[in-house]
Structure 1
Amino acid sequence: MKKGTRVEGVVEKLNFPNKGILHIDDRKMTVKHVLPGQKVAVMVTKGGEKRLEGRLLEVLEKSPAETADPCPHFGQCGGCSYQTLPYEEQLKIKAEQVTELLKPVLGEDFPFQGILPSPRPAEYRNKMEFSFGDAVKDGPMTLGLHKRGSFYDIVNVDGCRIVEEDYRKILRAVLEYFTKKQVPFYKKMQKTGILRHLVVRKGWKTGELLLLLVTVPGFHVESDFVEQLLALNLDGTIAGILHGENGGVADVVKCEQTHVLYGKNYFYEELLGLRFRITPFSFFQTNSAGAEVLYQTVREFVGEIEGQTVFDLYSGTGTIAQILAPVAEKVIGVEIVEEAVEAARRNAEENGLSNCMFIAGDVLKVLDTIEEKPEMIVLDPPRDGIHPKALEKILQYGVERIVYISCKPTSLARDLVACLAGGYRVERVMCVDMFPGTANVETVCLLSKLK
């Protein structure tokens, strides 16, 4: 079948993370941004004798499971591909995707214990990184998220449904302010303009808000900007307003210098009775309510650790380490991001935990420098999983139990192959939905050493 051919078909299933499967003339086709049961028109982008790839042109008929679009930006911005499905249907799809990925590794009857829902299916995110730009070339300035499939176009998302109203009010106010002031946004290709990003974070339990405006270096933020934000009628309380300077070329949210315009450069969040200080770039689960479910699950999978030394590898800001510390003899966290390690140390001190130690560095290298030997290991690696050589070192400790927390089941499936070969078996697998409306899901896996 030639490239550019228009074909029609019904989506049969959805593979992780967002690959629809349909058959055209007895050939399997994959296409993104579709849902099971939809009748779609697709343009062939890659043709083969057995497999085809295509690009969605239009949805001809909705899936019988779909409901009305709950968000005015659905289909425009790059996220929330499942948002038109009822939440129970979303959970079902995610659970099926994880089991399909793990069956080839663990067998048909592996101990899968289902999926736990997020306590908040909507308005759950505690962090948003908005970009300044335009929706069309040379159009009016927008502030929001990247348009699906575009590196340049920015969709204004002041009706976004995965954040609370406070985020929407702040987004509107900031865009209105700089539009009136006629301050231009930064254009990546021309390297001209000023405004780059707006980061908004909020504590679920505390209600504290932290705002970070990112511009090119040398821009002066006037005092009335702060005054306008403080005058907003918000449910939460603004703990700090920051101005960051970024002169880099890459379109990433970072700051070479940060100035406090109001308040402080951090806010607090509370999880499972512990209090965490969070800075603009601290890693923290983006769904606080879901994080409590996730960490309760992890604590249950970890089991009895009284008197034991626990390694929390890829520890971030040390959330898991501090949840385990009250019952463990000692917890050692290893994290490559130095800012996260500093935050972990500070949080442990503020929570009165003296048996936590956090080390900054690459797990692969740091493990060679730690004299203590663990009796329990918790792994919470980034999306790409664990470096093969680091995983080899981890397995060589031979601990009785390992708990692996994965935010990408394809990486988990790959790493489990090495774990099984290293003398472990899987005791329990549970999914936790941290990202309603999207294709992402967390998976918690308990492994035990074969006798």
Structure 2
Amino acid sequence: MKKKDIIEFEVDKMEFGGTSVSMLGNREIHMKGGITGQKIKAAVKRTRSGKADVKMVELLEKSPMETEETCPHFNQCGGCSILSIPYETQLEIKEKQVMDLFLKQDLFGFEFMGIEGSPETTLYRNKMEYTFGDEMKDGPLTLGMHKKGRHIDIVTVDGCVLVDQDFIKVLTSTVEYFNEKQLPYYRGINHKGYLRHLVVRKGVNTKELMVNIVTSSQVDFDMTEYKNMLLNLETESEIVSILHTINDGLADAVNCDELRVLHGRDYIQEEILGLKFKISPFSFFQTNTKGAEKLYTIAREFVGDHEDKVVFDLYSGTGTIGQVMAGAAKKVYGIEIIEEAVVAANQNAKLNGLTNCEFIAGDVAKTVKNLKHKPDLIIVDPPRPGIHKDAVRDISKFGSKEIIYISCNPKTLVLDLVEFRNYGYEVDKVKCMDMFPNTPHTETVVKLTKVR
């Protein structure tokens, strides 16, 4: 077997995060995607001793597990890679994958409480970030998601089942409007063009909608007509915010050089577990609102009675989890590196009448050293790369009896748990919360107890 060879095989084991490992002869075949039982044609990208990395070229035969109806874009866009699998089976797969990661690191002897399903398995996303482009070279303007395995081609996902009709209406009307205007989309190859992204955010419980059109500064275009077109759409939620973000950065990401408010305000509000939160265009907020309510309820149950305790909420974002805990806590300190998120967190605490919350901007590894109070309880909710080793050491030095670790990436979670074990913390309880139905991802909540 050598590079560029075309091979055929049956997918064996699905691993967490959307990859698979199969055997062909005496060689391990590693591939992005794949569902157990599928028959695949793939191209070899790289070979190593006893292993090969391949890219799917063609699905020859579906898996016996794939019995559910899918959307029109399934196998085109890279979003819902397991939409074809019944939801109960999805939960079983994720539960086993997470447990395998724990066992691989010799983490056992704890109470495993299984996986909690999402309250909604479709129409659950409260945020979508769409990209302008075309589906084929010199084709009509498209607006949507990158095609699976392609860096350039964009498919307009107007049949997506993860979002409700408000998202679809804004998406389709936007691409139709700018098609008529014949404005060029931004090309990453030469950094020329105007239209870059469309970001839609929704307050699921408050019925508030934000539309953020992201462009370069290369064309001087009046957005008044576009704003009026959006306001005339018959959406279920009220459009309370229409924004125009100018982004001349080279990266294919939504960054802000200038923010213009075309209509309303520069935020929407959401309510979770009786608390109100301002969500700005660039602040992090869980993308599954109903799922977030369940996730934070699990965390609160893991914490138990925390009256008169000092709580550290590390990687606090806009302060959701810290404020959920604040009602029964003596004091909550939140630390977050993104200053805008910290400003929003302090505003949210004020909005909710919480006088015992203080959110601080800074790097967790450095900032925890400067806090005067000792925590009785620490909550960590880090980004996908997990916690830096130095931060694990500094967090452990506080000697908190309990740590609640909320993770969106169990691969880095288990590595961090091994580090915490080196400082005397053992895993007490574990429960998964499926925040991302029909995708290969899940959240995991872990309770750590200091034993030595």
TM range (shorter): over 0.9
For residues 248 and 313 of structure 1, the distance between their equivalents in structure 2, rounded to whole angstroms, comes to 29
- Displacement of 1:190 in angstroms is 2.4
Point out where structure 2 has 5 or more consecutive residues left out of the alignment.
none
Question: What does residue 173 of structure 1 align with?
Answer: 173
For residues 194 and 151 of structure 1, the distance between their equivalents in structure 2, rounded to whole angstroms, comes to 18
Aligned residue identity for 1:149 = G
For residues 364 and 199 of structure 1, the distance between their equivalents in structure 2, rounded to whole angstroms, comes to 32
For residues 313 and 216 of structure 2, the distance between their equivalents in structure 1, rounded to whole angstroms, comes to 37
Counterpart mapping for 1:390-405 below 5 A: 390-405=391-406
For residues 83 and 410 of structure 1, the distance between their equivalents in structure 2, rounded to whole angstroms, comes to 22
Counterpart mapping for 1:7-46 below 5 A: 7-46=7-46
Counterpart mapping for 1:112-127 below 5 A: 112-127=112-127
The aligned length equals 451
Q: Are the aligned partners of 2:68 and 2:83 in contact in 1 as well (CA < 8 Å)?
A: no
Counterpart mapping for 1:124-139 below 5 A: 124-139=124-139
Question: What does residue 315 of structure 2 align with?
Answer: 314
Question: What does residue 2 of structure 1 align with?
Answer: 2
Question: What does residue 434 of structure 1 align with?
Answer: 435
Question: What does residue 194 of structure 1 align with?
Answer: 194
Per-residue CA distance 1:195-244 (angstroms, 9 max, x = gap): 11111000110110011111112633332211111111111110110111
For residues 19 and 194 of structure 2, the distance between their equivalents in structure 1, rounded to whole angstroms, comes to 37
Question: What does residue 340 of structure 2 align with?
Answer: 339
Question: What does residue 291 of structure 1 align with?
Answer: 292
Matched, 1:443 2:426: no
Question: What does residue 84 of structure 1 align with?
Answer: 84
Q: What SS class does the counterpart of residue 368 from structure 1 fall into?
A: helix
Matched, 1:323 2:290: no
Aligned residue identity for 1:442 = E
For residues 173 and 381 of structure 1, the distance between their equivalents in structure 2, rounded to whole angstroms, comes to 37
- Displacement of 1:53 in angstroms is 2.1
Per-residue CA distance 1:403-439 (angstroms, 9 max, x = gap): 0011001100110111111101111000000011111
For residues 110 and 373 of structure 1, the distance between their equivalents in structure 2, rounded to whole angstroms, comes to 27
Matched, 1:384 2:373: no
- Displacement of 1:16 in angstroms is 1.4
- Displacement of 1:8 in angstroms is 2.2
Q: Are the aligned partners of 1:105 and 1:416 in contact in 2 as well (CA < 8 Å)?
A: no
TM-score under structure 1 length normalisation: 0.97
TM-score under structure 2 length normalisation: 0.97
For residues 193 and 146 of structure 2, the distance between their equivalents in structure 1, rounded to whole angstroms, comes to 18
For residues 279 and 176 of structure 1, the distance between their equivalents in structure 2, rounded to whole angstroms, comes to 27
Aligned residue identity for 2:259 = T
Counterpart mapping for 1:61-72 below 5 A: 61-72=61-72
- Displacement of 1:91 in angstroms is 0.9
- Displacement of 1:51 in angstroms is 1.8
- Displacement of 1:5 in angstroms is 2.7
Q: What SS class does the counterpart of residue 343 from structure 1 fall into?
A: helix
Q: What SS class does the counterpart of residue 405 from structure 1 fall into?
A: strand
Per-residue CA distance 1:2-35 (angstroms, 9 max, x = gap): 2233322221210111221211113221112210
Aligned residue identity for 2:144 = G
Aligned residue identity for 1:356 = C
Per-residue CA distance 1:277-328 (angstroms, 9 max, x = gap): 1110111000001000100000011111111100000000000110010100
- Displacement of 1:188 in angstroms is 2.0
- Displacement of 1:69 in angstroms is 4.3
- Displacement of 1:108 in angstroms is 5.2
Q: Are the aligned partners of 2:41 and 2:56 in contact in 1 as well (CA < 8 Å)?
A: yes
Aligned residue identity for 2:389 = P
- Displacement of 1:107 in angstroms is 4.1
Q: What SS class does the counterpart of residue 369 from structure 2 fall into?
A: coil
- Displacement of 1:113 in angstroms is 1.1
For residues 144 and 3 of structure 1, the distance between their equivalents in structure 2, rounded to whole angstroms, comes to 32
The more displaced of 12-21 and 164-173 is 12-21
Aligned residue identity for 1:304 = D
Counterpart mapping for 1:219-298 below 5 A: 219-298=220-299
- Displacement of 1:42 in angstroms is 2.3
Q: What SS class does the counterpart of residue 367 from structure 1 fall into?
A: helix
Per-residue CA distance 1:322-371 (angstroms, 9 max, x = gap): 00101000000000011110110011001000000000010011112111
Q: Are the aligned partners of 1:103 and 1:110 in contact in 2 as well (CA < 8 Å)?
A: no
The more displaced of 375-384 and 59-68 is 59-68
Aligned residue identity for 1:427 = D
For residues 319 and 68 of structure 2, the distance between their equivalents in structure 1, rounded to whole angstroms, comes to 40
The more displaced of 125-134 and 109-118 is 109-118
Question: What does residue 207 of structure 2 align with?
Answer: 207
CA RMSD of aligned residues (A): 1.3
For residues 231 and 341 of structure 1, the distance between their equivalents in structure 2, rounded to whole angstroms, comes to 35
- Displacement of 1:109 in angstroms is 4.8
For residues 231 and 201 of structure 1, the distance between their equivalents in structure 2, rounded to whole angstroms, comes to 18
Per-residue CA distance 1:73-119 (angstroms, 9 max, x = gap): 11111211111111111111111110000112244554221100110
For residues 72 and 220 of structure 2, the distance between their equivalents in structure 1, rounded to whole angstroms, comes to 33
Identity of aligned residues (%): 49
Structure 1 residues 10 and 108, CA gap change in structure 2 (3 angstroms): farther
For residues 219 and 269 of structure 1, the distance between their equivalents in structure 2, rounded to whole angstroms, comes to 34
Question: What does residue 353 of structure 1 align with?
Answer: 354
For residues 5 and 149 of structure 1, the distance between their equivalents in structure 2, rounded to whole angstroms, comes to 18
The more displaced of 428-437 and 1-10 is 1-10
Structure 1 residues 373 and 43, CA gap change in structure 2 (3 angstroms): same
Aligned residue identity for 2:354 = L
Q: What SS class does the counterpart of residue 255 from structure 1 fall into?
A: coil
The more displaced of 220-229 and 295-304 is 220-229
Q: What SS class does the counterpart of residue 161 from structure 1 fall into?
A: coil
For residues 306 and 100 of structure 1, the distance between their equivalents in structure 2, rounded to whole angstroms, comes to 36
Question: What does residue 160 of structure 2 align with?
Answer: 160
